[in-house]
A and B are shown apart, each in its own frame.
Chain A
Amino acid sequence: MKSSVHIIGYEFELEKYASFSPQTQRRLAQNREAARKSRLRKKAYVQQLETSRLKLVQLEQELVRARQQVSHLIKYTTQPNGAGIGTFEMEYAHWVEEQHKQVAELRRALQAHVGDVELRMLVENGLNHYANLFRMKADAAKADVFYLISGKWRTSVERFFLWIGGFRPSELLNVLLPQLEPLTDQQHAEVCTLRQSCQQVEDALSQGIERLQQTLSQSMALDQSIGGSYRVQMAAAIEKLEGLESFANQADHLRGQTLHHMARILTTRQAARGLLALGEYFERLRALSSLWAARPREPT
C-alpha cells in the first residue's frame, strides 16, 4: 500500500519537478547529492562507533586481566611467603645447574690429573657453592620454614632421605668415605671423630624437634575454646612454631661445618674426589626420581 502511494507520490513529484526552472532543478539535484553524502558520512561514522565500541570492550577486558596480574604480583611480592619462596625456587634451579657444571669440571680435572693449584680452586668453588645454598635456605626459612623443611623444593627420592630440610651429614660421610680411600691413620681417626660428633649433634637436634612436636601436640589437644584462653593457647603455639626456624638453621650449620672439617682433614685431591662423589650422588638421586616418575606401570 505504502509503496503504491510512494510511487504515486513520486510520479506526482516528477511531474512537479519537470515544471521547475533549470536553476531550481540544479539546486534540488545538489541538495539530493548533499543529502546522499551526508547519509554516507553518517553511515561511516556509525560504523566507526561500532568498531570503537568493540575495541573498547576488548581494552576493558585486557585492563581487567592486567589489573588481576598486578594485584597477584603485588600480593606475591609483598607477602613474606610469596617473594621469599619464589625467589628461592628460582635461585635453587640455578644452583642445581651450576652444581652440574662444577661436577663435570671436577671430573674433567681429576681425569686430566691437573695440578693442586687448579684443584684447590675447584674445591674452593665447590665449598662456596654449598655455602651459598645454606645462605639461600636461611632466607627461605625466614619466609616459610614449613616449605623448607618439607623438602618440596627437592626431588622425590631426595625427600625420602630428608632430615630437617636436607641430608643427614653423618649419612653423607658414609657415602663419601669409600670414595676417599686410601686415608692415613691420622685422617681415619679425625674422620671417625667428626662422624661421631656429627651423629651426636644430629641426635640432639632430632630430640629437640621431637620435643617441639610433642609439646605442640599436647597444647593443641586441649580444648581452650572459651574466651581469652584460645588466644593465649594459639599465641603460645605460634611462639613454638617460630622455634622451627632455628632448627632449620642449626641443621644447615651442622652440614656446613661437616663439609668445612672434611675439607680441612683431606688433601686437596681427596677433597676434590669427595666433592665429585657427593655431586654425583645427588645427581643419581635426582635421576632416580625422574625414572621413578616415568616408570611403566600396569594399567589398573
Chain B
Amino acid sequence: MDRVFQLAAERPVVMFSKSTCCMCHTIKTLFSDFGANTTVYELDEMPRGREIEQALARHVGAGSDFPVVFIGGKLVGGANEIMTLHLNGSLSAMLKRAGALWL
C-alpha cells in the first residue's frame, strides 16, 4: 500500500486502471474534458501491477473495481464518487487545489 500512496503523491491526479476496463476509459475521458492532467497506471500492463491491485483491494475494499482515483495524494474513490463530486460542483475545485487544472 505504501507503493500506492507513493505513486499517488507524485502527481496531482493519479488513476489506477486496467487497459480492458471501459469505466476507466469513461473517467479518463471526463478528466480530459476538463483539461485535467491525469497520470494513469494500467495495472494489467505494469511489471508489479498485481501487487498494487492486491494492495488496493485490501485498502479500498471493493474487490476489483476500477478505476481508483487519487487527487492531491488523497483517495477519492471510483466512478461513482467522481460523478457525485462533479455534479455537486466540488470536483473542479479539488482539481484546481491539487494543481491539475491550468485555468
A interface residues, Cβ below 8 angstroms from B = 193-194, 197-198, 200-201, 203-205, 207-209, 211-212, 215, 236, 239-240, 243, 246-247, 249-250, 253-254, 257-258, 261
Contact = CB atoms under 8 A, between A and B. Distances in A.
B40 interface: no
Nearest to A244: B22
B57 interface: no
Contact of B83 (A207, A215, A254): A254
B21 A243 contact: yes
B87 A215 contact: no
State the main secondary structure of chain B at its contact with A. helix
A194 B86 CA distance: 9
Contact of B25 (A193, A201, A211): A211
Contacts of B88: 257, 261
Classify chain B's interface size: 20 to 34
Interface of B: 20-23, 25-27, 29-30, 33-34, 65, 79-80, 83-84, 86-89
B60 to A, nearest CB: 15
17 contacts: A200-B33, A200-B86, A201-B83, A203-B33, A204-B30, A208-B22, A208-B29, A211-B22, A239-B20, A243-B21, A246-B23, A247-B23, A249-B80, A250-B26, A253-B80, A254-B83, A261-B88
A207 B26 contact: yes
Given A194-B87, A243-B23, A253-B80, 19 more contacts: A197-B89, A200-B33, A200-B34, A200-B86, A201-B83, A203-B29, A205-B26, A208-B23, A212-B22, A239-B20, A240-B20, A243-B21, A246-B23, A247-B23, A249-B80, A250-B79, A250-B80, A257-B87, A261-B88
